[in-house]
Amino acid sequence: MSSLENVIAAETRLSEVDGLNGRLVICGHSLDALAGQKSFEAVLALLLPDVLSTSEEAVRAELAQARLRAFREVARLDTDLVSLSVTEALRALMARLPDGEDKSVALLQIAAPAVFVPALIRERAGQKPIPPHTGRSHAADMLAMLTGNQPVEEQIRALDIYLVTVSDHGLNASTFTARVVASTRAGYASAVLAALGALKGPLHGGAPGPVLDMLDAVATPDNATAWLAGEISRGERLMGFGHRIYRVRDPRADALKTALNRLGAAGGMDIDRLALAEAVERAALAALRAAKPDRVLETNVEFFTALLLEALGFPRDAFTGVFAAGRVGGWIAHAHEQIETGRLIRPQSVYVGPKAA
Ligand code: ACO
């Protein structure tokens, strides 16, 4: 009860997470029909037809303009902010953006993480932030702002698939947070800021950084079984495995694995790293099956997120921020949907404290 498990807290037209069959549907399209088939901008048009434009091209142009607006905030970066982790600095920067419930606020919120994350990574590395370019797609521009170079097609495709794959996922912790805040009519910026806080936790969007820590600690495929057994015997959770809703494999893990394999085939991924990850995945699934035979614990989205974002050149402390760059579409769409209901979210609690004298 304390985790609201199985409680229905909203009706949504945005996404359906079918945990028994391992299927994710976003606005009537299964993930298979979206990842690698439709761009992030096209998915935003599906998620937010009443707020943004309804065509991919128009959303692409609107989002590009919003990236330019977000970049103005980068000029105000100071050393205190840059010394924070990328995720915490992103939260601080997002807090400076204007609030409200109109289209321009929504667009700026959706654009900003893709601009702030690369700028923060570069500043922390002592490099000058690269301004956005309106001629590029959102994914291509995010990569160009990270490296200063024109990304190759397979890299753009991989990041675009990632942004689409994580764009929305039912009433997960951060999306629920966004809906609660939006229901108070605080505005999109407040809803996104609160959601960002929820996303940061390792049980939600903060897992991919620790996935790489795990791969580093395992170091060689031969070591995987013994290392993972040690973690499980100490009662540790294996990052990138298990899910509250999925009782089978997370379909997002497969979408990202396919993208990773393509990136590997195009030379954009260290093949030894991929082999290590596959050995760790196999050993982890075997160890989890042995430790929890009554509960299906499968690979979740975060495992392959870690490898994909690493291969694209993002440092691990920025992974949650890149996740936010995709999920922000879902947050704003849910915030909008909640505002449309006109109802404040206000559940009740059962008092179990001492009786009043
Ligand atoms: N490693 C080891 N044991 C696990 C794991 C794991 N990754 N996941 C669950 N378990 C164990 C639990 O400790 C629990 O054991 P117990 O019954 O002895 O207490 C049992 O399996 C059942 O757990 P659930 O109730 O299914 O787990 P819950 O729904 O509470 O948690 C969660 C889901 C938080 C995702 C969990 O699986 C976990 O901590 N995974 C690791 C972190 C992670 O990968 N997070 C990203 C999730 S995806 C996302 O949010 C984008």
Q: Residue 268 has what pLDDT?
A: 87
As a whole number of angstroms, the distance between CA 71 and CA 131 comes to: 7
208-218 and 301-311 helices cross at what angle (nearest 10)? 80
Q: Residue 197 has what pLDDT?
A: 97
| pLDDT at 42 exceeding the cut of 90 | yes
Q: Say which DSSP state 355 is in.
A: P
Q: Tens digits of per-residue pLDDT, 190-222?
A: 999 999 999 999 899 988 889 999 999 999 999
Percentage, residues of the chain above pLDDT 70: 100
Cβ(171) to ligand 1 under 6 A? no
Q: Which atom of ligand 1 is nearest to the CA of 242?
A: 37
| pLDDT at 53 exceeding the cut of 90 | yes
Q: Provide CB contacts within 8 A for 169, sequence distance 6+.
A: 15, 17, 24, 175, 252, 327, 330
Distance 294 CA to ligand 1 centre (A): 13
Distance 282 CA to ligand 1 centre (A): 17
Contacts 24+ apart (CB under 8 A), 148-152: 152/266, 152/268
Are the C-beta atoms of 178 and 195 separated by less than 8 Å?
Answer: yes
Q: Residue 168 has what pLDDT?
A: 98
The rounded Cα 326 to chain-centroid distance in angstroms is 5
Q: Tens digits of per-residue pLDDT, 56-98?
A: 999 999 999 999 999 999 999 999 999 999 999 999 999 999 9
Residue whose C-alpha is closest to residue 337's, from 180, 174, 105, 199: 180
Are the C-beta atoms of 46 and 334 separated by less than 8 Å?
Answer: no
| pLDDT at 309 exceeding the cut of 70 | yes
As a whole number of angstroms, the distance between CA 306 and CA 106 comes to: 28
Residue nearest to atom 9 of ligand 1 (CA): 242
Residue whose C-alpha is closest to residue 12's, from 26, 31, 22: 26
As a whole number of angstroms, the distance between CA 111 and CA 65 comes to: 9
271-291 and 224-233 helices cross at what angle (nearest 10)? 40
Distance 78 CA to ligand 1 centre (A): 38
| pLDDT at 258 exceeding the cut of 90 | yes
Cβ(239) to ligand 1 under 6 A? yes
Q: Hey, which of 176, 237, 247 would you mutate to test ligand 1's pocket, going by the most ligand atoms within 8 Å of its Cβ? A: 237
- Across the chain, mean pLDDT equals 96
Q: Residue 342 has what pLDDT?
A: 97
Q: Residue 2 has what pLDDT?
A: 78
Q: Residue 356 has what pLDDT?
A: 95
| pLDDT at 1 exceeding the cut of 70 | no
Average pLDDT, integer, range 39-47: 98
